[in-house]
Structures are given as structure tokens and as C-alpha cells.
């Protein structure tokens, strides 16, 4: 998306482009600026507080107060230019749509700049225009509060002695006593009522810790280990601040979701939702790609379901994941339904697994094609949901059900594993003639591989949103693929470059 020139309407003067040579605009701007000097000083002060909106004030060349108060025409014109640039970024987002982030789409035409810039130029209190623009995006108020609170926690943590760590010590459990760590905890939560025993990690203190854990995207279980200590001591706050800044900018001029039913997968939060408008029809935990095999942000559609799918193993999975298992116990791999093929004169020819000396097989020059037949042990489970894309990503069942009990589930090779695939199947089959959950269950029980095109394809978005607002306070998860960091580099650049593509094979 190319950013159009920033235009300002100054009274009855012609439209003037911010960003042109200063000498071309100074006299016209100075002639038309009608705000009182005090209002202009308040505007300058508001621009210097752009950090509260997640923006870097240093990028806007805000003139000094002395020059503004001294009725310098150049300074006043520069101030309006800085304000116009900030207003544009607050309304449309500072970062352009990154080519590697199809989950981020903006609709700037829905927020025309000209009326806002005209109001900025003519308002008696131009700082108020900046305030309104800053709160326009969805969730902006909650994200700004969280950003301010995170910065305050950094300052507070630096001013207090750190809560002692856990080197060689077990995590602190609710109900335990600790004469060293519990008093330090109480100092961090002065509003938590204290019982008779100041060394007891009592329920009131546990609840305060749980709230902090939830705010940091940690499992809110009250157990205090290394991650919670990092949150308490402020060492986790800089990452939280960066994610909140990115979240604020991503929401500016964001395109609305498609009408009707859709599937949303939040990669950092490892959650899937089926929505109809704003109504949640289904929600479940998912397993996403590990950092070395990241799940890419995508926009696509669910078009078909495969019952009892076989698994054509990607080369990377074969050589990195399966080759060590074939070397360790090839017979067990046969029992799990794995078959091995070699290419002979352009044709795939099956090679008996037990006839291969797997110790001599090279991972770098892996010579085989591996397939796992449908069955209970199949890595895809019994269901595969097809979402066409260039990265060969799909949604699927899994036999490893215990992994969904983990708080951190970035464990796959890129595809999305589903906690409750049968419930998703029931929803996507609605309207498909001759199919319902009962028939699907009969086919699954038969073990027969069956491909079912769905009558109504569902839009699917795999998005990377570390900050989610579902109540008064945002919930944050770790920036597992460093995409927030990449976004922030663009946000803080003097110009907004496109973000580098997400790398890594899947």
C-alpha cells in the first residue's frame, strides 16, 4: 500500500502537502494558523506524549516551545506539519501493510484524512483532535492503559529490591511459607490483605499473583517460578511494552472481518475460534508451530475435510524427526503404519522398511519418500481440514491429546493441531448434502480415507496477535516468532519500510 501525500486544509487556503520543502509552506501556514499560542503549546506537549500511543515522538520533529511561544512562523508551520504526520499515523497506522503479514489489512479509505487535517488546522484546541484520533481504533483505550501500567511497573520494579529468584530452589506453591520470598512479594502487592502469618503465601496474595500472571500471558496458577519472577522484577516488562506498542499500531484503520461465519486462529495465544459476526460459536486450544518451524500468518478458506487421512511426510520432517526413530526402532515404525518409497525411473517403488540399514541413511541427502497410512497412530489423527495455501499448512486432529494440557503449545512443525476436531467437523459440515456428524463417525470407524468438499467454505485467518482484549485488561502472550519485534523495527524507523518476510521451512 503506497501512502498518499498528507494534505491539510488551512482555512480557505489551497490544500498543502506536508512533506514538501519547508520554504514552500511556511508563509501560507503561518498566515492561516489561527490557534492561540497557549493552544499550540498544548499541542506540542501532546505530541511529545505520543509515547503513550505507542509512537516515538522523536520521529516527528516537534519544534521547541520557545520558538512556538515566540510567534515564529517557521516553528508554527513545523508544529502543524508534525501534528499532521502524527495524526495520519494515529488514524492509518505508521507501518504500511507488510507483504509477509497477510493477517494485517488496513482500510484507510474508511477514515478520510482531509476532514481530520482540516479540523486539526482550525480547532481552537488542536491537542484534543490528536486525543480523539488516538482513541479511535478498537481496544485503543485498554491497550493504552496497559502500556502505561507496564511502564509504571518498570519504574516501580527498578525502585524496589528484586524478589529473590529460584536458582536451585523449588517454585513457590500456594499455601507455602517462605520467610525470604513472601515478604518481598507482599511489598509488590500492598493492596493484598495480609493474614496473621506474614511469611505465608496466602489466598489473597495468590490471587494478586494470578492477576499478574494473566496480564503477562502466563498460566494463572499462582505458582511462582522463573517466568513469574521475571514479571515481578520488571525484566519481562520491556517485551510487554513492545508488544502493546505493536498492537496499538496494528489496529489502526484495520479492515473489518468478513461477514458471516469464519475461523480465526490466534497463533501466539494458541486458540481457535469459529465466529459468526461477533458471536463465538466454538473455541478451543490448538498446537502451533515451534519457533524453528513457525506457523505463517495466512488468509485462506476451509474448502474440504479428509476423514482418515494418510500422511505424506514432508522431507524436513522425514530427515529431522523420523530418521532418528527409524534408526532406533524400525519395527516400531512399521507398526505405526509408516511405509517407505524410493524413486526408480520416475516411479515410486516401495522399499521394505526392515531391509534398509538406517544407520547409513544420510539426513542431508535423504533418499526416500515416507508415507504413514491412516489409523489410530497417524500423526494427523483421524481428521484433516484442508485450507489451500502455498505453505502446505492445514488443521488436523492428533493422537497426542495430552499436549493440550500445556500452557505453552508451540510444538508442531507448522500445521495446526486441534483440541476438539469433531466439534469443528460438525460445524463445517452444516449444509453439506448427505453429511452430518453421525455419518462422519461411521466413515471414521470404517477406517476408509474419504474426501468431503464442504458446501459452504469458511474464511480462515491465521493471525499473529500477542495482545488480546476480551475484558477490561489485555491478555498478552510471548512473541514466539519475534514478529512483534520485526513490526516494531518498522514502527520506529524514520520511514516505514515493509517488514521482512517470515523465514523458515515448514
Q: From 433, 438, 470, select the one nearest 452 (Cα to Cα).
A: 433
Q: Which string of DSSP letters, residue by residue, matches 392-421?
A: ---EE--S-GGGGGSS--EEESSSEEES-H
- The residue annotated as part of the active site, out of 92, 216, 415, 463, is 415
Q: What span, in angstroms and rounded, lies between the C-alpha atoms of 273 and 262?
A: 8
- Cβ-proximal residues to 132 (8 Å cutoff; 6+ apart), any chain: none
3-state secondary structure 231-293: HHCCCCHHHHHHHHHHHHHHCCCECCCCCCEEEEEECCCCEEEEEECCEEEEEEEEEEECHHH
Q: Is 396 a catalytic residue?
A: yes
Q: Which string of DSSP letters, residue by residue, matches 17-60?
A: EETS-HHHHHHHHHHH--S-HHHHHHHHHHHHTGGGGT--GGGG
Could you give the count of Cα atoms lying within 13 Å of 277 in the half-sphere of its Cβ?
Answer: 1
Q: Is 29 a catalytic residue?
A: no
- Cβ-proximal residues to 490 (8 Å cutoff; 6+ apart), any chain: 94, 95, 98, 496, 497, 498, 499
- The residue annotated as part of the active site, out of 92, 216, 269, 396, is 396
Q: From 134, 132, 130, select the one nearest 40 (Cα to Cα).
A: 130
Residues belonging to the active site: 396, 415
Amino acid at each position: 500500500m503506497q501512502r498518499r501525500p498528507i494534505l491539510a486544509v488551512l482555512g480557505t487556503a489551497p490544500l498543502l502537502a506536508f512533506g514538501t520543502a519547508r520554504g514552500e509552506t511556511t508563509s501560507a501556514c503561518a498566515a492561516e494558523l489561527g490557534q492561540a499560542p497557549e493552544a499550540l503549546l498544548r499541542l506540542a506537549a501532546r505530541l511529545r506524549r505520543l509515547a503513550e500511543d505507542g509512537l516515538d515522538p522523536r520521529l516527528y520533529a516537534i519544534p521547541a516551545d520557545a520558538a512556538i511561544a515566540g510567534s515564529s512562523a517557521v516553528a508554527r508551520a513545523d508544529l502543524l506539519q508534525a501534528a499532521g504526520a502524527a495524526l495520519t499515523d494515529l488514524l492509518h497506522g505508521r507501518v504500511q501493510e507488510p507483504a509477509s503479514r497477510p493477517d494485517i489489512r488496513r482500510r484507510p479509505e474508511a477514515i478520510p484524512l482531509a476532514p481530520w487535517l482540516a479540523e486539526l488546522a482550525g480547532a481552537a484546541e488542536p491537542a484534543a483532535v490528536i486525543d480523539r484520533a488516538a482513541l479511535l481504533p478498537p481496544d485503543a483505550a485498554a491497550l493504552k492503559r496497559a502500556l502505561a501500567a507496564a511502564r509504571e511497573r518498570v519504574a516501580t520494579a527498578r525502585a524496589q529490591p528484586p524478589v529473590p529468584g529460584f536458582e536451585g530452589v523449588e517454585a513457590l506453591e500456594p499455601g507455602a511459607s517462605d520467610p525470604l520470598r513472601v515478604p518481598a512479594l507482599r511489598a509488590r502487592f500492598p493492596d493484598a490483605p495480609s493474614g496473621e502469618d506474614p511469611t505465608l503465601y496466602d489466598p489473597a496474595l495468590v490471587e494478586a499473583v494470578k492477576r499478574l500472571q494473566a496480564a503477562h500471558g502466563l498460566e494463572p496458577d499462582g505458582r511462582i517460578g522463573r517466568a513469574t519472577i521475571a514479571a515481578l522484577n520488571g525484566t519481562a516488562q520491556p517485551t510487554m511494552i513492545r508488544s502493546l506498542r505493536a498492537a496499538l499500531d496494528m489496529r489502526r484503520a484495520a479492515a473489518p472481518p468478513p461477514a458471516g461465519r469464519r475461523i480465526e486462529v490466534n497463533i501466539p495465544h494458541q486458540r481457535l475460534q469459529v465466529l459468526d459476526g461477533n458471536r463465538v460459536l466454538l473455541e478451543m486450544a490448538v498446537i502451533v508451530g515451534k519457533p524453528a518451524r513457525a506457523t505463517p500468518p495466512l488468509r485462506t478458506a476451509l474448502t474440504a475435510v479428509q476423514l482418515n487421512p494418510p500422511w505424506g511426510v514432508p522431507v524436513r520432517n522425514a530427515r529431522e524427526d523420523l530418521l532418528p526413530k527409524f534408526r532406533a526402532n524400525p519395527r516400531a515404525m512399521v507398526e505405526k503404519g509408516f511405509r517407505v518409497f524410493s524413486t526408480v525411473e520416475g516411479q515410486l517403488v516401495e522399499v521394505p522398511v526392515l531391509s534398509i540399514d538406517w544407520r547409513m541413511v544420510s539426513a542431508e541427502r535423504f533418499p526416500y519418500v515416507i508415507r504413514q497410512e491412516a489409523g489410530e497412530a497417524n500423526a494427523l489423527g483421524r481428521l484433516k481440514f484442508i485450507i489451500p495455501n502455498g505453505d502446505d499448512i492445514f488443521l488436523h486432529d492428533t493422537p497426542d491429546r495430552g499436549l493440550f494440557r500445556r500452557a505453552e503449545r508451540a510444538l508442531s512443525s507448522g500445521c495446526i493441531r486441534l483440541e476438539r476436531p469433531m466439534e469443528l467437523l460438525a460445524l463445517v459440515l452444516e449444509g453439506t448434502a448427505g453429511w452430518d456428524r453421525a455419518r462422519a463417525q461411521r466413515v471414521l470407524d470404517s477406517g476408509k480415507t474419504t474426501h468431503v468438499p464442504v458446501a459452504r467454505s469458511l474464511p480462515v485467518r491465521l493471525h499473529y496477535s500477542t495482545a488480546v482484549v476480551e475484558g477490561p485488561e489485555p491478555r498478552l502472550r510471548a512473541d514466539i516468532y519475534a514478529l512483534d519485534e520485526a513490526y516494531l523495527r518498522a514502527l520506529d524507523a524514520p520511514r516505514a519500510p515493509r517488514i521482512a518476510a517470515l523465514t523458515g521451512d515448514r
